[in-house]
Amino acid sequence: MLKDITIGQYLPGNSVIHRLDPRTKILLIVAFLIVLFTVGNFAGYLALALFLFAVNKIAKVPFKMLVKSLKPLLFFVIFTAVINLFLTRGEPIFKWGIITITKEGVRLTIAMSLRLIFLVIGTSLLTYTTSPIVLTDGIESLFRPLSKIGFPAHEIAMMMTIAIRFIPTIIDETDKIMKAQSARGSDFESGSLIHRAKALIPILVPLFVSAFRRADDLATAMECRCYRGGEGRTKLKAIKMKRIDAGAFLISAAVFAVVIVMNWL
Amino acid sequence: MHIKVENLVYKYMPGTPFEHIAVDDVSFEIKKGEFVGLIGHTGSGKSTLIQHLNGLIKPWSGKIFVDGVDISDKEVKLHELRFKVGIVFQYPEYQLFEETVKKDIMFGPKNMGLSDEEAEERAREAMNLVGLDHSLAEKSPFELSGGQKRRVAIAGVLAMQPEVLILDEPAAGLDPHGRNEILSRIEYMHKEKNMSIVLVSHSMEDIARMAKRVIVMKEGKIAAEGSVHDIFKKGESLKEINLDVPQIKRLTDELRRRGYDLPDDIYTVERAHEEILKLFEMEHHKV
C-alpha cells in the first residue's frame, strides 16, 4: 500500500528533458498550467495532450508510471465529475426524477476531468525527470529575487529538500512500525471506521516520536557542520541555462500560443 | 510448536527494475523448545526471512508450516498465529506508544481479546520475565532509559505468551550491562518456559553462548547449518561471507598454535577460562 506513493519519485535518465535546467521546467510547467485553465475548446485539449505525449516520449517515462501517478487522484476526479455533472444549471438533456443532466454540465465535467488529469501528468513529468535536490535548487533560484523583500527563499528550499529527503525514510519507518504492531496483534484492515481510526494511534505515536527525534538529530548535525542559512552559501553543482533550455522555451511557447489562438477559432 | 519452511522465495518489488531476491529457496525447521541462532551479513535476508514465520509478509513462492498447518491456507487466522509466534523487531523500543509501561505491555494481550484483569496479570508476569521493576508500571515508557525501554518492548511481545519467540538483534545498541541482562533473560525464558527461540544476531559471541543450532545465511540462501561447533570450526569459510568466529575462539586457536594443549571447541569466555585454569593446574602439578 505504502509503496504506491509516487509523489516526488524521480526516474533517473539522460533524456533532453532530464538535462533541462530545473528553472526552465518549473517555468514551463507554470505556463502549461495557466494555458491549461484558459483552454476553451476540445481542439485545445487535443493539442495539449499531444504536447504531453511528445514530452513523455522524449523523456522516456514508462506509460505505466504515468498511470500510477494518476491513481491517487482517481477519487478526486470522479468526485468533481459527479458534482459538476449533476449540479450545473443550464439546458437539460436528460431528466429522471430529481436528477437532471445539462449540456453545460457535461461540457464542464469533461473539461474539469481533463484539466485535473493533464495537471497531474504535467507535474508528474516534472518530478519524474528532475531529481528533488535539483528541483529545490531551481525553486530557490527562482525565488531569490524575492528575498530582497524578506521572502525566505533559501530557507523554504532547504525545508523542501529536507522534507523530500525524508519521505522514503518515513515510509520505511511506518512500514516497520506497522509490522511491529501487527506482530502484537494490531488489526488495521477490518472493523468499523472508528475501530480502524483507533488502530492508527499505535502507529502515529511512535512515528511522531521518531520524526521529532530525527529532526532534532538533523538540526544538531547541521549545526555541527556550521550551517547558518543561505547567505553567502555557494553550490557544488551550480545550475546553468543552456542552449537546450532556449529551445525548450521556444517550442513550448509556440505550442502554447497555438492553443491560446485556437480559443478564438 | 514446530515450524517448517519449504523452498521459501521472496522478491522485493517483483516486475520492476528494482527487483531483488531477498530470500532464495530456503528450507529449514525449528523444533519445539529449540534455540536456533540465525547469522548472516547485513542484507543477507535474515530479517525478511523471520517476518514470514508469523505471516507478516507472504512468500513469493514456497510454504511455511506451523504445527503441520500451511499458513498460506485461507482458513488459517494470521491474527491468531501472531500470538503464538512472537517477533521482537530490531530496536523494538520505537514501537512504544502508550501512556504507561503497563498499558503498553497490555496492548498485545488486549488484542488477543483478554479481559483487563487477565491482560494486567500477563503484563505483570512479562515484567517479571524481563526483569522490570514493578515501580515502573505506571511511568511513561518515554521517560525510561534505553535498556529499560527495550525491556518494555520485549515484555510487550512476551505478554502474549508466544510458544516461539523470534528476536532480531535484541541487544543491538545497548551497553554491556544492558546486553548481558537482556541475553540472560532470553536464556532464562528458553530454559524455564521451554520457549523455542530464534535469535538473529551479528554477535558471534552471543550465538556461541546461547544457540544450540546455527543457521548461516548468505545472499538470501542458507550457506551453512549445524551445531555451534560445526559452524565455527570452519572459521575460514565464515570469513568469506564477512562473518567471523567468536573472538575467544581466535585467542584459543592462537594459543593452540603456540603449543598450548587446549581443546578446539572453545567458543565462550567462561569455557576458555575453565580450560586455561585446568591447563595451569596441570602445569602446577608437574612442577
Judgement on whether residues B228 and B253 belong to the same structural domain of the protein: no
Threshold 0.90, pTM exceeds: no
Is B114 inside a domain boundary?
no
Higher pLDDT, B80 or B162: B162
Query: Which of the four pLDDT bands, split at 50, 70 and 90, describes residue B215?
Result: very high
Length of chain A: 265
Please check whether residues B200 and B253 belong to one and the same domain.
no
Is B203:B169 a contact under the CB 8 Å cutoff?
A: no
Q: Are residues B71 and B169 in the same domain?
A: yes
Residues B175 and B287 in one domain: no
For B189, the grid coordinates are: 525464558
Residues of chain B contacting A190 with CB distance shorter than 8 Å: none
Q: Flag the least confident range among A98-112, B161-175, B198-212.
A: A98-112
The pLDDT confidence band at residue B287, using thresholds 50, 70 and 90, is low
Interface of A with B in 186-215 (CB under 8 A): 186-187, 201-202, 205-206, 209-210
- Cβ–Cβ below 8 Å for B111 and A179: no
Å between A182 CA and nearest CA of chain B: 8
Last residue of a domain, one of B225, B242, B259: B242
Q: Are residues B179 and B287 in the same domain?
A: no
How far apart are the C-alpha atoms of B133 and B131, rounded to whole Å? 6
Task: Calculate mean pLDDT across residues A79-99.
Answer: 81
What is the count of structural domains for chain B?
2
pLDDT (average), residues A130-134: 85
Give me B2's grid cell.
514446530
CB atoms within 10 A of CB B262: 16
pLDDT above 60 for A2: no
- Position B106 in a domain: no
Q: What integer best gives the mean pLDDT of chain A?
A: 86
| pLDDT of B222 strictly over 70 | yes
Q: Is residue B225 part of a domain?
A: yes
Nearest-CB residue to A184 (from B94, B142, B156): B156
Same-domain status, B253 and B208: no
- C-alpha to C-alpha distance for B54 and B35, rounded to whole angstroms: 17
Rounded CA gap, B282 and B264, in Å?
18
Q: Which of B51, B92, B111 has the CB atom closest to A186's CB atom?
A: B111
The yes-or-no verdict on residue B109 having pLDDT over 60 is yes
Identify the pLDDT of residue A1.
42
| pLDDT number for residue A33 | 93
The rounded distance, in Å, linking the Cα atoms of A217 and A219 is 5
Residues B169, B285, single domain; the answer is no
Please determine, for residue B69, whether its predicted confidence score (pLDDT) is greater than 50. Answer: yes
Average pLDDT over residues A87-97: 77
Q: Tens digit of pLDDT for each residue in B7-66?
A: 999 988 777 767 888 999 999 999 999 999 999 888 888 999 999 998 888 899 999 999
Predicted confidence band at A7 (pLDDT cuts at 50, 70, 90)? low
Q: Do B19 and B57 belong to one domain?
A: yes
- Give mean pLDDT, residues B220-230: 90
Whether B51 and A179 lie within 8 Å, measured CB to CB: yes
A210·B94 Cβ contact <8 A: yes
* pLDDT of A215 above 60: yes
Beta-strand (E) ranges in chain B?
3-12, 20-30, 35-40, 61-66, 69-70, 85-88, 164-168, 196-200, 213-218, 221-227
Task: Give the pLDDT of residue A3.
Answer: 52
Is the reported ipTM for this assembly greater than 0.90? no
Is B103 part of any domain?
no
Domain assignment present for residue B208? The answer is yes
Domain range for B267 is 246-287
The answer to whether residues B235 and B269 belong to one domain is no
- Domain extent listing, chain A: 2-130+239-262, 146-224
Residue B152 lies in a domain: no
pLDDT, greater one: A96 or A261? A261
Q: Report the percentage of chain A scoring pLDDT > 70.
A: 97
pLDDT at A97 over 60: yes
Residue of chain A minimizing CA distance to B158: A184
Q: Examine residue B139 and state whether it is found in any structural domain, yes or no.
A: no
